[in-house]
Structure 1
Amino acid sequence: MDQDDLPRARQDAADQLSKEDLDSYSQEELLERVALLEAEIARVKAQHARAADHRKAADALFGSPPQSGQAG
C-alpha cells in the first residue's frame, strides 16, 4: 500500500462502519459492538497521548519547531 493511500484507506474503513446496517444486530450484539468501538477509541487516545509525550520530550531536548507564520 502506498503512503498516499493511507488516509483514503482510513476513510474507507470509517465509511464502511458508518454504512453497515445495524438492524440485524440484537441489543446484546449492539452493546458488544459499542464496547469494541470504545476499546478502539481508548487505544487510539492512548497512542495519541504517547505521541504527544514523545513530541514534548523531543521539543524539550531539541527545541520547538518554528510555528508557521512566525519568523525563525
Structure 2
Amino acid sequence: MDDEEIKRPKTHEVGMAIDTMSVEELTERIGLLEAEIVRLREAIEARGATRKAAEAAFKF
C-alpha cells in the first residue's frame, strides 16, 4: 500500500484516535474545529436574531 493510497479523513470526530497523527495533521484538525466553532456561533446568533424579530412582530 502506497502512502498516497492511505487517505486521512478531512473531518474530525470528537473522540477519534489522534495517536498516529502528525503535528501538522493535529494543527490542521485544530483549524477545522476552530472554523466549525465560528460557524456554530454564527448559527446561534442568527437564530437569536430570528427569535428577536419574531418576538417583536408578535408584541402588541
Same fold by TM (over 0.5)?
A: yes
Q: Where has structure 1 moved over 3 Å in runs of 4 or more? A: none
Letter of the structure 1 residue corresponding to residue 29 of structure 2: R
| Structure-2-length-normalised TM-score | 0.72
> Structure 2: 5+ residue runs without aligned partners?
1-11
- The percent identity for this pair of structures is 42
> What is the rounded CA distance, in whole Å, between the counterparts of 1:61 and 1:19 in structure 2?
43
Give the structure with the higher percent helix: 1
Equivalent residue in structure 1 for 2:54, among 50, 53, 58: 58
TM-score, normalising length: structure 1: 0.61
1:14-39: per-residue Cα shift (whole Å, max 9, x none)? xx823311011101110100000110
Following superposition of structure 1 onto structure 2, how do residues 12-31 of structure 1 map, counting pairs within 5 Å? 17-31=13-27
Aligned residue number for residue 4 of structure 2: none
Distance in 2, matches of 1:61 and 1:35, equals 39
Aligned residues: 48
CA distance in structure 2 between the partners assigned to 1:29 and 1:19 by the alignment: 15
- Whole-Å Cα distance in 1 between the matches of residues 33 and 19 of structure 2? 18
